[in-house]
Amino acid sequence: MATQTTPTRESVHGLDAQGLAPTGIVYWNFVAPELVQAAIERREGTLADMGPFVAVTAPHTGRSPNDKFVVKETTTEADVDWGKVNQPIGEDKFELLLGDVRGYLNGLGELFVQDLYCGADRTHRLSVRYVTPNAWHANFVRNMFIRPDATELPTFNPNFTVLHAPEFQATPERHGTRTGTFIVLHLARRMILIGGTRYAGELKKAMFTVMNYLMPKAGVMSMHCSANVGDAGDVALFFGLSGTGKTTLSADPDRSLIGDDEHGWSDDGVFNYEGGCYAKVINLSREHEPDIYATTQMFGTILENVVLDHHRRVKFDDRSITENTRASYPLHYIRNHVPSGAGGHPRNVVFLTADAFGVLPPVARLTRDQAMYYFMSGYTAKVAGTERGVTEPQATFSSCFGAVFLVWHPTRYAEMLGQLIDRHGSRVWLVNTGWSGGAYGEGSRMKIAYTRAMVRAALGGRLDAVATFQDPIFGLHIPTAVPDVPSDVLNPRKTWKDGAAYDAQARKLADMFRKNFEKFGTVSDAIRGAGPKG
């Protein structure tokens, strides 16, 4: 086992500020080689061919949104949009859980601490201390967040703490949780407790939830999106739920990556919350996603829940553990990245959807009111067969393309985005990376080469002067021509063999949109009227 770090690499504050008094060894701010070595020696996982570390997190291979709670207390109570997403838990239960987690961590033989920043903009960033019993989880957060330089570590003073106890199980009767798994945020105390799950994504998304609360209070729009920038300094944002192509399309070899998932939009422009990427790698290929594929062949990358062959090479098409296989790697592993993690005000905003019903156009220009409508809707669709009992496409509506991470009411984020689009003249596009020529099971997934061509044309201004036609049901303005894309692909109705079947499917989806939008209550007539007409 690696030896304890020297005092010069350790914070002068120790762990007393976190209420911890460990009886074992504490390893402070280990770098990737030390963490990987420790993880291997502790049998936390294995090395794959070319050096990435592989961990299996079963039985939890994804987030546990139903086990996330927010402490309900007087200073933040009026701000939070309480409900299924932000489930309340009392301060008394939090104190019991905190005491038990502290006692558990104090009694372990080894702890790993990482002091990191969340937010590339120094004005708005948080200083976060992660405490975990696992070396590989420490390496995960080191990959995912912004690493202070050596001169900053001796005086690092955290203003947020995450206590991670993946093997500790809560007791629902005692702690007020639903199960043994828990993600509990105390916004006033600036503390997060995570336990009962080894899935590393909880460590990342819990902090995103925090930023979604704090940034709007500071006048910053908080966004579940990726961002890149062209040679001319033109920034583009890509909003989308998992599986819509957010990470893939932002990692464009002809543009520089600002970040792949979480950003703020301030008066100065866009900035990444993170210092790394967390990409889905199911069916990943060198041909279609060369930059992301390259990261999976690098030492320091963490691969979650992938399957290896007998040569320890990754079987990217193997779903036997989960379809939600992941790669965590530092941002600088992407060849074209922006070292500062920041850019100017977006010239283009892209909403991504994977429409498994096969009726939305592959690209459309949105009016300002349509932008607000589709942002608040946050639509994509699950395909048949991905979950037990799902036999046909199922619509998923996630407000602001990230409802499970929002803290304020969705209308607050939508109003902020609308104001920023107006102020900076950003163009907004809807891009369907889903099915064409029919729904899932009959049609086929839109070719990524076509989607890339459409996105590049939109970002490059080559669609600005192109004539459009309006979809009669959804009211979307669809370009009549896109360079390097067959014209018959652009009109979704014409890709179906049976036009009447398309019309019926489109009206079905339009009705789902309308029913979902009813939950927003009071919304301007202009925005409500920007939705489907048919």
Beta strands 276-280 and 326-330: pairing type? antiparallel
Specify the length of the chain in residues.
Answer: 534
CA–CA distance, 319 with 137 (Å, rounded to integer): 23
- As a dihedral over the C-alpha atoms of residue 310, residue 316, residue 319, residue 324, rounded to 10 degrees, the angle is 130
Domains of the chain: 7-45+64-217 (3.40.449.10), 345-528 (3.90.228.20)
- For 246-332, where are the E strands, in sequence order? 256-259, 262-266, 269-272, 276-280, 302-304, 326-330
133 three-class SS:
coil
pLDDT at 108: 96
408: tokens are 């304020």
pLDDT at 523: 85
- Work out the average pLDDT over 440-463: 94
H or E stretch at 202 = helix 201-217
Of residues 504 and 522, the one with the higher pLDDT is: 504
CA–CA distance, 17 with 21 (Å, rounded to integer): 10
Fill in the DSSP letter of residue 180.
S
Read off the pLDDT of residues 178-196 as tens digits, 9 standing for 90 and up: 999 999 999 999 999 999 9
CA–CA distance, 234 with 223 (Å, rounded to integer): 18
Q: Tell me what percent of the residues of the chain surpass a pLDDT of 90.
A: 89
**Is residue 347 over pLDDT 80?**
yes
pLDDT at 4: 44
Query: 471 falls in which pLDDT band (50, 70, 90)?
Result: very high
Read off the pLDDT of residues 91-139 as tens digits, 9 standing for 90 and up: 999 999 999 999 999 999 999 999 999 999 999 999 999 999 999 999 9
pLDDT at 12: 45
Say what angle helices 410-424 and 368-377 make with each other, to 10 degrees: 150
Handedness of CA 54, 57, 58, 63 (dihedral sign): negative
**Is residue 530 over pLDDT 60?**
yes
**Is residue 415 over pLDDT 70?**
yes
529: tokens are 């009227």
| Cα separation of the two ends of the chain | 66
Q: Which residues are catalytic?
A: 63, 205, 224, 242, 246-247, 261, 326
CA–CA distance, 127 with 116 (Å, rounded to integer): 6
**Is residue 233 over pLDDT 90?**
yes
497: tokens are 């063999």
pLDDT at 385: 41
Handedness of CA 191, 195, 197, 198 (dihedral sign): positive
Query: 147 falls in which pLDDT band (50, 70, 90)?
Result: very high
pLDDT at 534: 66
CA–CA distance, 295 with 285 (Å, rounded to integer): 12
468 three-class SS:
strand
Across 370-379, 455-464, 521-530, least confident range:
521-530
pLDDT at 383: 66
Of residues 154 and 267, the one with the higher pLDDT is: 267
Q: Which residues pair with 314 in a beta bridge?
A: 308
Asked if residue 376 lies in contact with residue 414, where contact means CB atoms within 8 angstroms, the answer is yes
130: tokens are 């992660």
Q: Tell me what percent of the residues of the chain surpass a pLDDT of 70.
A: 96
Across 75-84, 192-201, 384-393, least confident range:
384-393
Asked if residue 462 lies in contact with residue 484, where contact means CB atoms within 8 angstroms, the answer is no
pLDDT at 387: 43
- Work out the average pLDDT over 448-458: 95
**Is residue 253 over pLDDT 80?**
yes
- Work out the average pLDDT over 484-495: 94
Burial class for 73, CB neighbours closer than 10 Å (0-12, 13-18, 19+) = middle
Q: What is the mean pLDDT of the chain?
A: 93
pLDDT at 458: 97
pLDDT at 288: 86
CA–CA distance, 76 with 188 (Å, rounded to integer): 7
Cβ neighbours, 10 Å, residue 319: 14
